[in-house]
Amino acid sequence: MNPLKALWEEHGQAAWLDYIERDLLTGGGLEKLVAEDGVRGVTSNPSIFKAAITGSGSYDADIDAFLEAHPDASTESLYEALAITDIQMAADILAPVFKASAGTDGFVSLEVSPRLAHDTVGTEAEARRLWQAVDRPNLMIKVPATAAGIPAIENLIAAGINVNATLMFSLADYEAVATAYLRGLERRDDPSGVASVASFFVSRVDSKVDAALRAIGTDEALELCGRAAIANSRLAYRRFLELFHSRSFTETAARGAQVQRPLWASTSTKNPDYPDVLYVEELVGPETVNTLPTATLEAYRDHGRPRSRVAENFADDEALLAQIGRLGIDLDALTARLQVDGVASFSDAFDELMAALESKRTARS
């Protein structure tokens, strides 16, 4: 069996594509991934849209048409029109998955502006506006797990808006997001019909921790390289099991509530010395999502070996992180920095995209 299809059919993990681009949507590429590889969702972010919109001429006709119809519109409005069209197309392609899963899968994610990462009111307002503009039941609005994003996540869930909570790097991030989701459900008279995933970033954790381990340079430290991110993610999964397989959630689930699945993000391997599917292989497990960049998806199709590993030995995962701590590495501080850097990276990509669109606009005037 195709290893990508086996993730879902044999292990209960949904493979989502971490990429969106106009030609993929109009040329049958996404339909093929759904049909042949069992892809069950799509995620996007400002970096992905920047690469898509500035990397090809596929959007030029839409840019021209928009500017002709709305010559005084802002550059952000132009971007939003392009992005919403892509999201709507992807949502329609995934609609059969959404229907067949009774609304538990088949989602496409669109991120609020990273400029709002520290603005609760602004995040909520933009999320509601985008939800209405896209007008697809299988949309998820991506909201960062910043201090300002956490109350927005709760309020959006309470309002019945699907949320992909993103930019989580630590167990504290996961706890805040999961409990915000639960609080949002509690505020709903009917908790059914609203869905959420908790996007927990993986490979970037190893990039930071490995650098600290190499700086220490002892044999003990070097032997721990490439292991922190997986252990960190597995312990987030342990907390997922505790929260969503508890008696209290069982009662909520009986009223139609869905679990908030952990989604493994940033699963491409940054270190060329590590296996290219490391962060897929080691995090397979039921009720999870892995969102894969195109190259990682193709690699896993070619030589993935699906086996449920995410819950193999939580005690070992805990011991490994404790050992890293004893070496003087503050994982909490490193993961907090990663979230700050992640927001900044998406903000930079968004700003660069706005500048590129402004240049296209100027060239047409």
The residues annotated with a catalytic role in the active site are 142
Return the HEC string of 322-353: HHHHHCCCCHHHHHHHHHHHHHHHHHHHHHHH
Contact 164, 199 (CB under 8 A): yes
Q: How wide is the angle at C-alpha 286 spanned by C-alphas 233 and 301, nearest 5°?
A: 85
How far is Cα 323 from Cα 319, in angstroms, rounded to an integer? Answer: 6
Phi and psi, residue 248, nearest 5°: -65, -40
Q: How wide is the angle at C-alpha 136 spanned by C-alphas 135 and 138, nearest 5°?
A: 150
Strands 261-265 and 163-168: what pairing?
unpaired
Q: Which residues of 187-200 are buried (b: 16+ CB within 10 A; e: fewer)?
A: ebeebeebbbbbbb
Query: DSSP characters for 241-308?
Result: HHHHTSHHHHHHHTTTPPP-EEEEE--S-SSTTS-TTHHHHTT--TTEEEEE-HHHHHHHHHH-----
Query: DSSP characters for 103-171?
Result: TSS-EEEEEPPGGGTT-HHHHHHHHHHHHHHH--TTEEEEEE-STTHHHHHHHHHHTT--EEEEEE-SH
State in Å, rounded, how far the first CA of the chain is from the last one: 53
> What is the three-class DSSP state of 86?
helix
For 22, 56, 110, 345, 364, the CA distances from 359, given in Å and listed in that order, are 20, 15, 24, 21, 9
How far is Cα 311 from Cα 235, in angstroms, rounded to an integer? Answer: 9
